[in-house]
Amino acid sequence: MYLCVIILNRKEMEATVTKAKKTAKRQNGVLTYRQIRNRVGDGWAIIQDPERNRGIFIKGKLLYHSLNKNEVVEEFCKRKEENLYFMHCMKPDPNVIYLL
């Protein structure tokens, strides 16, 4: 089981931008949630135009991903496209309680 958190607040993300520069990947094309999760692993991603069914993320266009959160936040802040979402995928630790 994977936990997926989508953060929508652009101002909050812009406030956390740092100068971290590491290798990341740029992606194009619409992918399902499972395909995105497999590519991103335990990392961070920028998704454009996500499709949802009853509020649950189904698929979207993976624009960028990296294991480094600050790098993804920096890329998110540079982009001017509409309907962008910041997403974190991770395999939750069974010994930790997560509050969403």
pLDDT average, residue stretch 11-27: 45
Q: In the structure, what pLDDT confidence band is assigned to residue 20 with cuts at 50, 70 and 90?
A: very low
Q: Does a structural domain hold residue 98? A: no
Q: What is the DSSP letter of 17?
A: -
Please give the residue range of the domain that contains residue 58. 3-90
Q: Does a structural domain hold residue 48? A: yes
Alpha carbon distance 99, 67 (integer Å) = 22
Q: In the structure, what pLDDT confidence band is assigned to residue 21 with cuts at 50, 70 and 90?
A: very low
Average pLDDT value over all residues in the chain: 75
Write down the number of H helices and E strands in the chain: 3, 6
pLDDT average, residue stretch 11-35: 57
Alpha helices in 1-100 (DSSP H): 10-15, 33-40, 69-78
Q: Does a structural domain hold residue 42? A: yes
Q: Does a structural domain hold residue 99? A: no
Alpha carbon distance 81, 7 (integer Å) = 16
Number of domain units in the chain: 1
Q: Does a structural domain hold residue 30? A: yes
